[in-house]
Chain A
């Protein structure tokens, strides 16, 4: 709680600014690491797989972080927290795009015929592709103008994030050959973040 007390001494505007800085730095570190390792022969025997796994994991992590904002806001009664949700969501989108770029470019060298075959034949790729497509309308409507224009429909539209989360988790489950430890961890966190929304103690109406 000390961090929150310390933060609450600031104005909401200062808190938002500070937290956004932290998110930007945190989000850029994995990219810098990949670039650094790439130029220093540090990506291991299968560098393309390394990049695909890393960007995929970070897309999933940012998805979970963005889903964590609402429960955290309700638990801590810090309304200003909602202001960082868009940034987290956009970083999820950025990592998803990097993930797909590494697949299309580094893995398949833009061999579209093979890519289409891979998507159609392998359920885990199909599900991943569907998840990516669903992020597009969310990213496109993440600006202030779209929020105003869509009004109530904006909220409904952005519920798609739950579907994206389920598809992304399925993508991970089906990709893993045998050891499902990692997908289990992500799925449990996802389920907890969903469950938190339903618990009465986090309802705005409670004291």
Chain B
């Protein structure tokens, strides 16, 4: 894969990275199949270039941005983030990307923009999983405006210093490290600024299980999976579990939710 020019940062510099092999072979990307190994196999022929993202909704004017333009909005940075999946496993991934804030500023949202919707690319001809209605396609995710502007929130275009592999959401995906992994919309094709809280694909699938906020929270249990602890991918058969931290250990985001009942707004 093509290597990227980027600056190193202090984020997660003491973390032990999950191997490139594991990061790129164990994926949840239902457009390419529901098995963890499906995306790496089924996304081989997917073409993430050329690519443009539509910017629409509560903005000064609707416009589009190419992936090349996007990558010039801000210097690319490497950020090592922990990624906690709602299924109870986690990884440490060296993403390369730029703060989402850079794109939001460029998009010039109006005062009506309270939330952002991220619409993932959906093409049943090239995405075998998208032919099956396991989720309400296209995959839709969302953030509140202040969450989107939080400096941790990243638009990733690469990992391990190289262009994002298809199975990880090429050419551009969202990374919100204090939220469960499913918030990270892959292969983003439309970014829509809206006034109402979006109904995401997972909320439509089961609102009882998947909330809009989806903040990593060991105190709020999931109907299926234990959320108080997690398995670190690559740690080996006998490694056991590690305790999950509130906001996945990114305490600085706590102020975004001051005064909110996080049991109710899960």
Contact = CB atoms under 8 A, between A and B. Distances in A.
Nearest to B232: A46
Interface in B218-244: 221, 223-226, 228-229, 231, 233-234, 236-238, 240-241
B64 to A, nearest CB: 32
A207 interface: no
Contact of B34 (A48, A108, A121, A179): A179
Interface in B1-49: 21-22, 25-26, 30, 34, 36-37
Contacts of A177: 34, 87, 224
B113 interface: no
B256 interface: no
Given A109-B241, A179-B34, A122 B226 contact: yes
Given A46-B89, A114-B228, A179-B134, A106 B26 contact: no
Interface string B86-127: 010100000000000000000000000000000000000000
B224 A118 contact: no
A109 B240 contact: yes
B205 interface: yes
Contacts of A108: 240-241
Nearest to A38: B237
Interface string B235-255: 011101100000000000000
Contacts of B229: 114
Contacts of A46: 26, 36, 89, 231, 233
A44 B37 contact: yes
Contacts of B205: 178
A33 to B, nearest CB: 15
Contacts of B234: 45
A117 interface: yes
B135 interface: yes
Contact of B237 (A47, A117, A124): A47
A74 to B, nearest CB: 37
Nearest to A44: B26
A87 interface: no
Interface in A89-128: 106-109, 111, 114, 117-118, 121-124
Nearest to B236: A47
Contacts of A44: 25-26, 36-37
A123 B208 CA distance: 14
A10 to B, nearest CB: 42
Name the interface size band of chain B. Answer: 20 to 34
A124 B224 CA distance: 7
A39 B237 CA distance: 10
A18 interface: no
B135 A178 contact: yes
A5 to B, nearest CB: 41
A46 B36 CA distance: 10
Interface in A162-176: 174-175
Contacts of A7: none
Contact of B221 (A121, A174, A175): A121
Contact of A45 (B36, B135, B228, B241): B36
A43 interface: yes
Nearest to B227: A121
A174 B241 contact: no
B224 A174 contact: yes
Nearest to B23: A45
B224 A175 contact: yes
Interface of A: 38, 43-49, 51, 106-109, 111, 114, 117-118, 121-124, 174-175, 177-179
15 contacts: A45-B21, A46-B36, A46-B233, A47-B237, A106-B238, A111-B241, A117-B226, A122-B223, A122-B224, A124-B224, A177-B34, A177-B87, A178-B135, A179-B30, A179-B34
Given A45-B233, A45-B234, A124-B224, 11 more contacts: A43-B237, A45-B36, A47-B236, A49-B89, A109-B240, A111-B240, A114-B229, A118-B226, A122-B223, A122-B226, A175-B224
Interface of B: 21-22, 25-26, 30, 34, 36-37, 87, 89, 132, 134-135, 205, 221, 223-226, 228-229, 231, 233-234, 236-238, 240-241
Q: Rank and list the top 10 A-B pairs by shortest CB-CB distance, nearest first.
A: A45-B26, A179-B34, A109-B240, A45-B22, A178-B134, A47-B237, A45-B233, A118-B226, A179-B134, A121-B221
